[in-house]
Structure 1
Amino acid sequence: MPQNPAPQLSVDLGRFRRYLILGNLVLLALIALAAVLVLSASHRAHEERGRATAADLARSLALSVASTLQLVDNTLLSTLNQVDRLGAAGPLQAEELTRIADAQRALVPAMTALRVTDAEGRVLNPDADGPATVTVADRDYFQAARADPTRLAVSEPLQGRLKKGWGLVLARARLDEAGRFIGVVYGGIGTQGVVQDFQRADVGSQGIVVLRSSSLRLIARYSPRDRDPEARLGMAQVSDAFHAARKVDPWQGSYIARSTLDGIERVTAYTQVGRHPLLVQVGLATEDFFAPWRRQMAQLGGLLALLAAVVVGASALIYRAQARQVRARAQAALLAAERGAMLDNELVGMVKLRARREVWHNAALARLFGYGPGELSGQPARLLYLDDESFAQVGLAYQQLQETRSYRTQLRMRRKDGGTVWVDLSGKALPDGESLWLMVDITHIKRSEQQARHLALHDGLTGLPNRQLLQDRLAFLLRDAERNGRWLAVCYLDLDGFKAVNDQHGHDAGDAVLRAAAERLTASVRGNDVVARMGGDEFVLVLNQLGALSDEAFALNRLLDSFAAPITLPDGSEASVGVSIGVAIYPQHGSDVGTLLGRADRALLAGKRAGKGRWVTCDAVTDVKA
């Protein structure tokens, strides 16, 4: 009789079942490991994006704060010049100092106070309703300005004695003609003014923006959750992670830590405010920032649970070949869908190239450049570049890709409609001579950087170059004049009758006069000349490439004539202002920026004493010191 195959079949099936279960366990373990790796990579990507976002916000806010400090410093310098001129005419009077301070402070809304002191720190222009004698000799900014009169002194966070509330003080030293210290001019910035700038930043429901001094004392703090933003001002309590980050780089960096102020964990970036001893910190709550990652983790966990159920269910039917094929097709379809979901994301454009011609691209790339379905298929990569130069520049990266290294750059590229888009471009070599390129739209970041640079170098009211940009351009023009053997005229101007218009019609009218004056000055000179606003009603004009010393006379007379017509004010009335000009000529009156500006300013003062509405050179007045 033939043997019964059932026992052997039972053994074979049992062995197969054990192998099947073991294989399923190994498969599930590998899938779980892959999920962990994917989640880990995603977590790192979210963390890096959080650090980058916080750093971008910190840099933007630092530029805003630096711009405000620059405006205050410009006001201090302008006030210092006016006080020096006033002191040269006689003893300083509190009423006159108050008038100058009020006029200058009105130009910078962020300032809460503008004071002048003597060498002992006594305030020379206290409030009329405040104490008659106030001294700031014990303040750190007074001592810092006295110790180093050449630099702008920035205080630690403090509470005002004349103006209550927390804030920051900037100070400039006053020096007599012999260079001796005779006091300071200082201006205050209230914490509330800084917080108003911070409120424009999108930091989420639990984010935070902080301004600290170099000693880490808290100057200003903004968070949507704060009920009392001034509760911890002046404190220097920070996390250990912040201290550790500053050991690597004291002025710029990022870290993740739980805040010592409110116990919330945040991704925090910090950066220096210009060249000032101040730090801006921007913290984004990990609870908010990692919410998409947590949803992804939950979805992936659900997917893993579902996959485990499918594997177990399929194992019960594995004896049938058709069931195995169905399960294999289902798994292949699932893997294809997962890969397609990763490639066709909404944020990152992807394109695969061979010989710099499109082989495959995702929908995000077509949307980034404004193309419809199929319009980029098979097209050369040159179609997306702005010009041949940038196309050739990226073409040099292919040698780097062949050496198995990645490539990354930022450049402007061309959309279908002819517009441009800033792109963060990165590439990676693939087998068979292909390459994969990823593109992220960073246009809004580039636009923010450009706006911040413009605000830092131009006057906010007139749009003219400010003091810093003027000094840079004048230094360049002086070097050019020296190389080409030309003359150059530096003209210091202020408006005659401006104060009367401002007092009678208000600050809006004064602003309109300043804008009209800026337009007339610009229209009266050539394109290679420079017009800048120094603050208040003071301007500087640089007449460049003079062929002879007489050339400036024609230009300045034309400029005086341009102010003959009245200026229409916002209320429809008209006002007339004139202009007085002090002129210093390169090279006969000086060869550096400071000397020419100073002598032109003193020539202006001497000229106004002799009579307004004219221009006067250094050597035309007897009381202008050489």
Structure 2
Amino acid sequence: MVQEGRSPHTAVREWLIFTVAVLVLGAVLAYLGYHEWRRVGEREEQRLFTQAELTHDMIALQLDVIGTTLSNIRADLPPGWETRQEAQALLTDRFRTLVSAMANLRTISILDSSGKAVVSSHEAITGQDLHEREYFQLVKKSPNPDILYVGPPFLTSLGVWTMTLSRAIIGENGEFAGVITASLDPKIFRIVLSSVRYASDVWASLAHGDGLLFLLEPDRSDISGRNLAVPGSFFTRHMESGQESSVGEGIVHATKEHRLVALHTIQPFLLRMDKPLVVAMARDVTAIYATWKRDQIVHAMVYALLVISGYLVFLFRRRHMRKAQRAAEIVREQVRMLREKLESFFEISPDMLCIMDIEGRFFKLNPSWQKMSGYPLETLTNAVLYEYLHPEDVDATRAAMSGLSRKDAVSSFCNRFLRPDGSYRYIEWHAASRGEYVFAAARDVTERRETELQLHVMAYHDRLTGLPNRALFFDRFSQAISGAKRGKKRVGLLFVDLDGFKMVNDQFGHDAGDAVLKAVARRFSETVRATDTVARTGGDEFLIVLPDLGDPEEAAVVARKLLAAACGRIAVSDDLECSVGASIGISIYPDHGEDTDALLVAADAAMYQSKNGGKNQYVFFDMSPHAEAEIPLPDILDEKHLVGVVVIDEQHRKQAGFVAKLREAVNKKENEERIDHLFVELYDFTQFHFATEHSLMTKHEYPGILSHDRAHRYLLKELSRFRSEMSQGGDSFLFTTLEHWLLQHILSEDKPLGAYLAQKRDSGESREP
């Protein structure tokens, strides 16, 4: 309260307090603004980088397919292709078929050693003398059959920008015999670039390694073909850095725009491209920070209003401190009104605002604390924060407070706050210290944390039964094998397939089938030990891990209990009961294998022996050759799709079987829930199959692992897309595409992997998987 006759020292002290308060508030606002500015920039950089990497993967896959196609054509060239008309006619038909099937190509042509177009998918090109074309001269100067030559972009006679991929043809005596070349269709690559644009101000481009711009999306025909390899350009700096990826901000050479740009070099190791391609993702810097700038203007205006208001009040009080009591009361009223404004801001904030000392004692809290905590503000005021925290969070919170005492800010720190009913709420803190005080803003994030925990559970558990899914099963199975190796114990693996389950589904419907699966899952879980793992891996199949076995007979005891549990009557509704049986295959570590793949194959084979032997029984894996269960190839597979690796061929059979089931369900027009269920099974099993291949490639140091894994990621994205497009019709076309999706991957990726593993096996470096 201001009094008449106040000393000069009091006024100075008040001015100092006001200045400190203004500086603290300004520092907090500046810090938050700067932090938000950095967060916006870093988030956008990561987003552009992710989109550029995704574009890299999609285009690299396209290049790999085209490069492989050119190699296959070259390897299959018939004798006398240079002169024999019948051979050229066959090649022409083949090229036209490939161009019509591969949307990423415009033409495929073969030029002889003189540069004459001997064969082409485009009739107008056949017979032309193309020896002056840069892509021909490029190969002729240094012909290497292993290199994929990437020609620079050029404008065709039809006014379309394109690029060529070429491979050298070497004669029988090692001489240069010609060039096989394919021109790219920019439409497909433009679709790829368009698909990764997540905002209207984002553009994506693709350039040749020499710097010529090939495509820009959205289309800017005036700059297509422009040379980006100029000193100081983003392209030049990226190429000079030698890094695969780079991010920068500045003026783009081609468009003269201020942009944040992410670049990614496309040059897969196995393709041996003579020149790379460079994909770029860019976004307008002004658009990136538009929202941040608007918020900062509002904050600055509020801050300026508060500072100016405070300054005017203090100036007014200074000039009239010697006046009568009435003038002093007027000043006090103005101060009161200003404090009410500040208090109103503190009171109405939805976040929990508080001021406390460095020891965690609360001095002031806003009403949001009462709503969250359930305690009256009077109870919390002067209370110590640590008294309300979960015991497991106290040490981490003290460490964070210690950091505040060193002037470090705290951002996004979480702990649990005790409520009167004994429950805890997750609180996220943002705090900074000034002197001996801590200014903090907190937010209740309990629902978000619970959602994150729920998503974690969903990621590792089967949606229907709640049992562990494939991912969690393999983790526990691997841990059990590792523990058995250390303790010289055995591990049992039981592969369970229900007998009669399809009849339940067909006779009583899928709801009854789901009820049976839930009941069997519950019975199995109650039958085994707490240390055992019961997992559902799809359909009516269950996998059970029995760690720390001393004798294989212990697995047989569990199998008998499981058979008894499965055979009991199951109530699927108030007035309906049904029953199923079970066929169980058993494999034992290390008797039947020393890794997860071998043990899974053994248990699966034993399960088929159980079914063939009469069902509703258990069978241990028999390692004799005559004991292997022969599983016929599904319709869409034939002998040429066998890769020669037992575990991979077995999984291909199952994968094709899932596709066949899905086709049958669609043809019979079964309900959407059933079709969704089959799609989930196919997707989950495909993930499991890809994980198996990755494990084998890692174990045996397969040189093509990066390309193979990249193809797996792309195929999973395509599988998700198939499901979304089925609701739009064209089921027959989609299933043809889905089958081609599987078969093409087997031929192009898995067959080379099988050959590599067979070579390892024959050389004695490893056992057959």
Q: Is 1:446 aligned to residue 449 of structure 2?
A: yes
8 Å Cα contact 2:321/2:328 also seen in 1: no
Letter of the aligned partner of 1:542 in structure 2?
V
- Aligned positions, number: 425
Give me the whole-angstrom Cα distance separating, in 1, the residues matched to 2:398 and 2:307: 43
TM-score, reference length from structure 1: 0.53
Deviation for aligned residue 1:35:
11
8 Å Cα contact 2:369/2:377 also seen in 1: no
Q: Which has the higher contact order (CA 8 A, sep 6+)?
A: 1
Which of 528, 533, 547 is residue 531 of structure 2 equivalent to? 528
Deviation for aligned residue 1:494:
0.7
Superimposed CA distance per residue, residues 569-605 of structure 1 (whole angstroms, 9 cap, x where no aligned partner): 2473222110001110011011111111111011111
Aligned to 2:485: 482
Superimposed CA distance per residue, residues 88-118 of structure 1 (whole angstroms, 9 cap, x where no aligned partner): xxxxxxxxxxxxxxxxxxxxxxxxxxxxxxx
8 Å Cα contact 1:355/1:434 also seen in 2: no
Give me the whole-angstrom Cα distance separating, in 1, the residues matched to 2:433 and 2:22: 29
Q: Is 1:341 aligned to residue 359 of structure 2?
A: no
Deviation for aligned residue 1:498:
0.8
Give me the whole-angstrom Cα distance separating, in 2, the residues matched to 1:349 and 1:593: 53
8 Å Cα contact 2:491/2:546 also seen in 1: yes
Say which SS state the counterpart of residue 619 (structure 1) adopts: coil
Relative to structure 1, the CA distance from residue 292 to residue 478 in structure 2 (aligned partners, 3 Å threshold; closer, same or farther) is: same
Relative to structure 1, the CA distance from residue 136 to residue 532 in structure 2 (aligned partners, 3 Å threshold; closer, same or farther) is: farther
Relative to structure 1, the CA distance from residue 36 to residue 380 in structure 2 (aligned partners, 3 Å threshold; closer, same or farther) is: closer
Aligned to 2:389: 385
Superimposed CA distance per residue, residues 231-274 of structure 1 (whole angstroms, 9 cap, x where no aligned partner): xxxx99579xxx9xxx9x999x9x9xxxxxxxxxxxxxxxxxxx
Aligned to 1:517: 520
Aligned to 2:508: 505
Is 614-623 or 572-581 further displaced after alignment? 614-623
8 Å Cα contact 1:351/1:365 also seen in 2: no
Q: Which runs of 5+ in 1 are unaligned?
A: 1-30, 56-134, 141-212, 224-234, 256-283
Superimposed CA distance per residue, residues 183-238 of structure 1 (whole angstroms, 9 cap, x where no aligned partner): xxxxxxxxxxxxxxxxxxxxxxxxxxxxxx99965669999xxxxxxxxxxx9957
Superimposed CA distance per residue, residues 380-417 of structure 1 (whole angstroms, 9 cap, x where no aligned partner): 33321111x43233223444333222345322232232
Aligned to 1:588: 591
Deviation for aligned residue 1:318:
7.2
Give me the whole-angstrom Cα distance separating, in 2, the residues matched to 1:573 and 1:221: 54
Relative to structure 1, the CA distance from residue 424 to residue 597 in structure 2 (aligned partners, 3 Å threshold; closer, same or farther) is: same
Deviation for aligned residue 1:32:
13
Deviation for aligned residue 1:486:
1.6
Q: Is 1:564 aligned to residue 567 of structure 2?
A: yes
Give me the whole-angstrom Cα distance separating, in 2, the residues matched to 1:599 and 1:479: 19
Letter of the aligned partner of 2:600 in structure 1?
L
Aligned to 2:8: none
Is 403-412 or 461-470 further displaced after alignment? 403-412
Give me the whole-angstrom Cα distance separating, in 1, the residues matched to 2:372 and 2:38: 23
Letter of the aligned partner of 2:519 in structure 1?
A
Aligned to 2:620: 617
Deviation for aligned residue 1:467:
0.9
Counting only pairs closer than 5 Å after superposition, residues 235-250 of structure 1 correspond to structure 2 as: 237=217
Q: Which runs of 5+ in 2 are unaligned?
A: 1-20, 46-98, 105-188, 200-214, 220-234, 236-240, 250-286, 630-767
Say which SS state the counterpart of residue 379 (structure 1) adopts: coil
Say which SS state the counterpart of residue 396 (structure 1) adopts: helix
Give me the whole-angstrom Cα distance separating, in 1, the residues matched to 2:40 and 2:577: 54
Counting only pairs closer than 5 Å after superposition, residues 196-345 of structure 1 correspond to structure 2 as: 237=217, 321-322=323-324, 325=328, 328-344=331-347, 345=349
Give me the whole-angstrom Cα distance separating, in 2, the residues matched to 1:436 and 1:34: 10
Give me the whole-angstrom Cα distance separating, in 1, the residues matched to 2:190 and 2:617: 48
Relative to structure 1, the CA distance from residue 49 to residue 449 in structure 2 (aligned partners, 3 Å threshold; closer, same or farther) is: farther
Relative to structure 1, the CA distance from residue 237 to residue 535 in structure 2 (aligned partners, 3 Å threshold; closer, same or farther) is: farther
Relative to structure 1, the CA distance from residue 34 to residue 563 in structure 2 (aligned partners, 3 Å threshold; closer, same or farther) is: closer
Aligned to 1:374: 378
Relative to structure 1, the CA distance from residue 399 to residue 555 in structure 2 (aligned partners, 3 Å threshold; closer, same or farther) is: same
Relative to structure 1, the CA distance from residue 598 to residue 238 in structure 2 (aligned partners, 3 Å threshold; closer, same or farther) is: farther
8 Å Cα contact 2:567/2:581 also seen in 1: yes
Deviation for aligned residue 1:562:
1.1
Counting only pairs closer than 5 Å after superposition, residues 491-502 of structure 1 correspond to structure 2 as: 491-502=494-505
Say which SS state the counterpart of residue 365 (structure 1) adopts: helix
Deviation for aligned residue 1:612:
0.6
Give me the whole-angstrom Cα distance separating, in 1, the residues matched to 2:41 and 2:418: 29
Deviation for aligned residue 1:518:
1.0
Deviation for aligned residue 1:502:
0.9
Alignment identity in percent? 28
Aligned to 1:461: 464
Say which SS state the counterpart of residue 569 (structure 1) adopts: strand
Is 610-619 or 372-381 further displaced after alignment? 372-381
Letter of the aligned partner of 2:428 in structure 1?
D
Give me the whole-angstrom Cα distance separating, in 2, the residues matched to 1:238 and 1:342: 46
Which of 354, 359, 364 is residue 363 of structure 2 equivalent to? 359
Give me the whole-angstrom Cα distance separating, in 1, the residues matched to 2:459 and 2:565: 30
Aligned to 2:420: 416
Counting only pairs closer than 5 Å after superposition, residues 143-162 of structure 1 correspond to structure 2 as: none
Deviation for aligned residue 1:434:
4.2
8 Å Cα contact 2:356/2:362 also seen in 1: yes
Give me the whole-angstrom Cα distance separating, in 1, the residues matched to 2:621 and 2:103: 40
Say which SS state the counterpart of residue 442 (structure 2) adopts: strand
Give me the whole-angstrom Cα distance separating, in 2, the residues matched to 1:620 and 1:549: 15
Give me the whole-angstrom Cα distance separating, in 2, the residues matched to 1:54 and 1:519: 47
8 Å Cα contact 1:46/1:293 also seen in 2: no
Relative to structure 1, the CA distance from residue 314 to residue 332 in structure 2 (aligned partners, 3 Å threshold; closer, same or farther) is: closer
Normalized per residue, the structure richer in helix is 2
Aligned to 2:223: none
Give me the whole-angstrom Cα distance separating, in 1, the residues matched to 2:607 and 2:100: 33
Deviation for aligned residue 1:559:
0.8
8 Å Cα contact 1:314/1:324 also seen in 2: no
Say which SS state the counterpart of residue 379 (structure 2) adopts: coil
Relative to structure 1, the CA distance from residue 42 to residue 586 in structure 2 (aligned partners, 3 Å threshold; closer, same or farther) is: closer
Supply the RMSD in Å over aligned alpha carbons.
5.8
